Chain A
Amino acid sequence: MKQNWWKALTVVLLLYVSVAGLLLPVPRLAILNETIRNLYFHVPMWFGMTFILAASVYYSVRYLRTPTPALDIRAHEAARTGILMGFVGLATGSIWAKYAWGAWWTNDPKLNGAAIAMLIYCAYLVLRSSFTDEQQRARVSAIYNIFAFATAIPLFYILPRLTDSLHPGAGGNPAFAKYDLDSNMRLVFYPAVIGWTLLAFWLAQLASRVSLLKLKVYEKQIA
């Protein structure tokens, strides 16, 4: 029997985050004002993206060891969900930047790193569509996926911290770091990360199941 408890948990967590995220108190900071509440939505997109892309790499590695269409589908759908989360993260970040920094985009290591990582993953999608043979497509894209992930991690988490950045969490902004871990905000932030990550896995799982169904139907038709 399918395990569905985590889907119910997703629903509860997301509802809690949406309501508590607006109603519970937050630190009063200049410039940010109420937009600090974006923390509950913008940041979990990136956390969720990282987890689901890690799952995608996991399936890619498994595929290379035991090639089955199911594993390829899972890797692909997890990557697609990760790319979606990443673009939503970029969009929400851009909106936030417009109001907090005055510009939709800045020449910032974290922002540029994130954009480059997303482009690398878009190239993964393009790569897949360039193959007609399924097994070749699966194998090459699995290898590319591993390299893409290995490149994305330094782009997101290592390079931005080595230099000064306007974006919180880098060398230049210790003050904000104190506040995005404010204990009041933690009450909503941690459930938010879990909730949005679970949503990513739910979406990837659904997409995989649909693809697997399509595969089964196709196999039955040609049999």
Chain B
Amino acid sequence: MKNRLPKLRPALLVLLALLLPVVRVAAQSTASDSPEMADVLRQSGKIYVVVAVIAVVLVGLLFFLIALDRKVSRLEKELRD
């Protein structure tokens, strides 16, 4: 566990970034004095579903872009020779 700690650092930092707003909300009085945010979505972990969906969409589109780029490079090479 000890020598795996540096690798876990990004995960720990993200976790901390998530927990800090929760701590803030937990410290609130019941007369909610600050604007509501998607805290429930975060506490339930559902925000990760949103992140995953967006990431998948983006990766899919980027893969398509890279494949297109490669095809064009191949065609350019073919025309040059």
Contacts and interface: CB of A to CB of B under 8 A. Distances in A.
Contacts of B75: 213
A15 B79 contact: no
Given A22-B51, A206-B68, A28 B34 contact: yes
Interface string B46-81: 010011001100110010011011001101100100
Interface size class on chain B is: 20 to 34
A15 B55 contact: yes
Interface residues of A, number: 28
A81 to B, nearest CB: 13
A33 interface: yes
B21 A25 contact: yes
Contacts of A216: 79
Interface in A204-223: 206, 209-210, 213, 216-217, 220
A31 B73 CA distance: 48
A22 B37 contact: no
Contacts of B69: 7, 202, 206
Nearest to B14: A23
Interface string A8-40: 000100110011001111101111111000000
A2 interface: yes
Contact of A213 (B14, B66, B79): B79
Contact of B35 (A11, A22, A29): A29
A217 B35 contact: no
B54 A18 contact: yes
B35 A2 contact: no
A30 B35 contact: yes
B5 interface: no
Given A28-B37, A30-B35, A15 B76 contact: no
Contact of A25 (B20, B47, B62, B76): B20
Contacts of A203: 65
A15 B17 CA distance: 18
B12 interface: no
Given A15-B55, A15-B59, A22-B51, A210 B18 contact: no
B38 interface: yes
Contact of A217 (B65, B68, B79): B79
Given A14-B58, A15-B62, A25-B20, 16 more contacts: A11-B62, A14-B62, A15-B55, A15-B59, A18-B58, A19-B54, A22-B47, A23-B14, A28-B37, A31-B35, A33-B35, A33-B36, A202-B65, A203-B65, A213-B76, A220-B79
Q: Which 4 A-B pairs have CB atoms at the shortest separation, nearest pair first?
A: A30-B35, A28-B35, A34-B38, A18-B54
21 contacts: A2-B73, A7-B66, A11-B66, A14-B62, A18-B51, A18-B54, A18-B58, A22-B51, A23-B14, A23-B47, A28-B37, A32-B35, A33-B37, A33-B38, A34-B37, A34-B38, A202-B65, A206-B72, A213-B72, A213-B79, A217-B79
